[in-house]
Amino acid sequence: MFNKLPSWVVKSLVILLFTLGLFRYYSNSEPYATGDGIEYILTTEAWCNHGTPNINPADFSSFKADFIAHQSWESNYKAAAFDEVERFLKESQAKVKAPVRKEFGGFYRNKNANVYGYHFVFYSLLNVPARCMTDLFNVHPIHAFKYTNLACWTLLLILILFLRKQLVFDDVLLFLAAFLSAAFYYNTWTHPELTTVVLLMASFIFLNQERFHLAILTCALATLQNQPLVFVLLWMYVYVWNKQRYAIKPLFLYGLYGFIIFIPSLYFYSLFGTTSLIKDAGFLASENISLTRITGFYVDLNQGMIISIGLFLLLYMVLLVQRLVVIIKTRKADIWDLIPLVLMSMTLLVSAMNNWNHGMAIVNRYAIWIGVPLLFHVFHLMRDFSIRVRVPLVVSALISQGFLLCVHLPYNQFDWSNLQHMPIAKWVLDHHPSWYNPDPQIFIARTNRVFDFTKNSSPVLYFNNKNRLVKLAVHSENLDTLSTFGYKMNTLRSYPNVRSGSETWIYINDIEERSTKSSVELLQIIENSEVQRIISEMRANPQWIKELTLKAARNHMDIEEQLRLDARYIFNENHPR
């Protein structure tokens, strides 16, 4: 039947079914301000209300009014954070003289007392049409971001299916690889990751089809929210210049698009007298860059690119070695051979972030869009392979992505996946703890759910699924505490020594074999401190503390006693004896 239909009808049906299926799959997703979502939400509200990104109390009020029309404010997991932002917005308008904060939670007040977010406003502007639709059709306002993200996928599929009369099968496979990557987890996020992925995908598709104006334009737009992509844009200029036989005049015309990358800097300079609020806030530091972070960005079992693109990453490593051999033999290279350098440049830059275990949906947010040029390079390196070789390789890699999705989807709740070890990492830690020695931030935050990476959090103990202590991380300035656990160290060089910023941690992987104390005795030692840590978690969660207050009233006991009882119960549940 489909053979008798015009190709455009079949393509249109594919697009329609894809869009409806995606919409249906995410229709019941709970609205939540993921990551820096509060900032993006309120900036979108400001654009929608008065056509500027200046956020005022009225913008907060309009969002909150729409929110509570669909959901109680108390059920908002970030209600406390939203309320504190509202207080911050109103401080400059208070009649009573009081200190006015210049910054809170990613919001900054300039000399004119106007408030702006510390991320550029492009993504929030893109979200305005969807926000207007949610208002028109009486839909929860946070769902607007989901609709924007889903529209991006649909537009990309339209581009792939209709850009050429002859369908390019590689583009379809690349679409599947990107869709089945960890970008899938970000479909409901109030964040620009997915938009960046789609813009980059479109850019490389245009580049392969030698539509250079569109390629450079879409890549330049992608840099607006993620500045490290400037390295990809520079690579594209070299690629296009090479294709134009190094002629100056065409490059001058393409160069005009390059001015787009300066828009964020000009925007922030005009408002705050600086080119980057994030840089000035101290969120980046060169001392954070380490070999552990760089390699872990790709292969970390908790949040690395490997659990996003699966066998594509392993295939890429093999193809790079093969390509290197060819270059050495022929002494010839092309512009595509610079892609690994581009990837490494971006990796170095993002590795400078202070918070390496940030809020995420399974995989490091930066790995989502850095994976796009990598995928295109994989297909470029396989361009001369026969169909018999290419098809099994690509299909196997796609199947591996599907498998990874099935494994990790149950753990994808909002932006909380950074608070627990992912299944594959947990299996390795349980059975072969010496195989996995990640950046200390990852191990500490996911094991103890604390974000203090100084010696105050040392030591950090990992108990496996049989409740046996199999791994311990200790701060380099706190090694004396190991004697408490009945452990006597060998020479320091015999242990994995991992740095995270200015903090150095030591991993002890033979604690079970060499400690004079049993796991039960070690549990007794840490019980009180663990109970206090759980109580701190309870206090930090407004919804949790509210439920415990009601529970204490029902049980006719003091809230402090209820906290201790529940915390001790959780500890015993996590560590059955």
Give yes or no for a contact between 253 and 459, defined as CB atoms under 8 angstroms apart.
Answer: no
Cβ pair 365, 191 in contact under 8 A: yes
Proportion of the chain above pLDDT 70, given as a percent? 98
- pLDDT for the residue 530: 80
The distance between the two most distant Cα atoms of the chain, rounded to a whole number of Å, is 82
Tell me, rounded to whole angstroms, the distance of Cα 210 from its chain centroid: 31
- Judge whether residue 80 has pLDDT over 90: no
pLDDT at residue 255 greater than cutoff 90: no
Structure tokens, 185: 């987890």
Q: What is the pLDDT of residues 154-199, one digit of tens each?
A: 999 999 999 877 777 899 999 999 999 999 999 999 999 999 999 9
Task: Name 212's Cβ contacts closer than 8 Å, sequence gap at least 6.
Answer: 206, 240, 243, 254
More confident residue, 280 or 153: 153
CB 502 within 8 A of CB 285: no
Q: Count CB-CB contacts under 10 A for residue 150.
A: 20
Question: What is the C-alpha to C-alpha distance for residues 232 and 258, in angstroms, rounded to an integer?
Answer: 12
Residue 94 burial class via C-beta count within 10 angstroms: exposed 0-12, middle 13-18, buried 19 and up: exposed
**Residue 254: predicted pLDDT:** 86
At residue 82, the 3 state secondary structure works out as helix
Is the whole-model pTM more than 0.85? yes
Q: How many other C-beta atoms lie within 10 A of the C-beta of residue 489?
A: 14
pLDDT, average across residues 105-123:
94
Show the tokens assigned to 354. Answer: 């202070």
Most confident of 21-30, 309-318, 560-569: 309-318
Range from 219-228, 278-287, 435-444, 558-567 carrying the lowest mean pLDDT: 278-287
Q: What's the pLDDT at 504?
A: 95
Q: What is the pLDDT of residue 64?
A: 96
The amino acid occupying position 367 is A
Q: What per-residue confidence (pLDDT) applies to 577?
A: 62
User: Is the per-residue pLDDT at 527 higher than 90?
Assistant: no
* Low-confidence winner among 215-224, 260-269, 410-419 (lowest mean pLDDT): 410-419
Residue 382's pLDDT band, with cuts at 50, 70 and 90, is: very high
pLDDT at 542 over 80: no
Cα 407 off chain centre by: 18
Instruction: List the Cα angle 542/548/554 in 5-degree steps.
Output: 145
Which carries the bigger pLDDT value, residue 15 or residue 577?
Answer: 15
Residues 573 and 467 sit within 8 Å (Cβ to Cβ): no
Q: What is the model's pLDDT at position 69?
A: 95
Q: Does residue 99 have a pLDDT over 90?
A: no
Residue 141 pLDDT > 90, yes or no?
yes
Cis peptide before 57 (omega within 30 of 0): no
Describe the crossing of helices 37-50 and 79-90 by its angle, rounded to 10 degrees: 50
Assigned token pair, 378: 């994989």
CA distance linking residue 123 with residue 492, whole number of Å = 48
CB 237 within 8 A of CB 216: yes
Mean pLDDT value across the chain: 92
pLDDT of residue 403: 97
- Which structure tokens are listed for 331? 């002494």
**Ranges 303-307, 372-376, 455-459: which has the least confidence:** 455-459
Ranking 11-25, 40-54, 116-130, 238-252 by mean pLDDT, the lowest is: 238-252
Structure tokens at 478: 């706190």
Contact 239, 254 (CB under 8 A): no
Q: Is the pLDDT of residue 1 over 70?
A: no
For the cut 80, the answer to whether the pLDDT of residue 413 exceeds it is: yes
Give the pLDDT mean for 4-32.
88
Q: Running DSSP on this structure, what letter comes out for residue 353? A: B
Residue 314, classed as helix, strand or coil, is helix
> CA 359, CA 193: separation in Å to the nearest integer?
13
